[in-house]
Structure 1
Amino acid sequence: MTARRVLVERRPVAVGRLDAAPPADVSRDAETRAAMRRQLSAGAFTAGAGLAVLVGAPVLAAGIADVRWWVALSVGVQPVWVLLAVRHLRHAEQAERAGP
């Protein structure tokens, strides 16, 4: 017996699934857009602050010749990253919980 190859042109419809999509809930769309705007705003702030640290630390260190300042900068930047991450997480969670 030889195997037959079958060309599948589309995915099969799931069992119990309706062909027609349910009507869109306009209020849910507005809530989703508002939540996305809040999260985008929080993300933009975090990205800007991270970029400022990423660019600012080497610029600040370029003018410093003392090794102790280099060590202080390299150790001092890490807590800033952690604080930015925690702040972003809190704001993202608040944006998820907040209503429109």
Structure 2
Amino acid sequence: MSNTNVVSVDDVLAHLGIDYPDDTVITNINRAINTADAYLKGSIGNNYPTDDPRAKELALLLVADIYDNRELTTTVSTNTRKLVESMSLQLRLELRRGSHE
């Protein structure tokens, strides 16, 4: 487990399909990455497994949602919210189980 962010700006740019980002896009993505990291720490725990592909996917979903909906004009789909909640719960339970072994 690592204390660094689970995704990089390059990961997010690829996920969002942004080929030519400007300074504003990079600033918004960095803010979204930091927010997603804080969310995952609050949801899963400070030492959430940044090397777990589910954590990376969660971070990408969260960053995309934060980036795409930064103006609060749309809502994220119910399916995305369920997926985020389910993966967060699964990782939390696994971490809790690991701390008792």
Higher relative contact order (CA 8 A, sep 6+): 1
Query: Which TM-score band (shorter chain)?
Result: 0.3 to 0.5
The structure with the larger Rg is 1
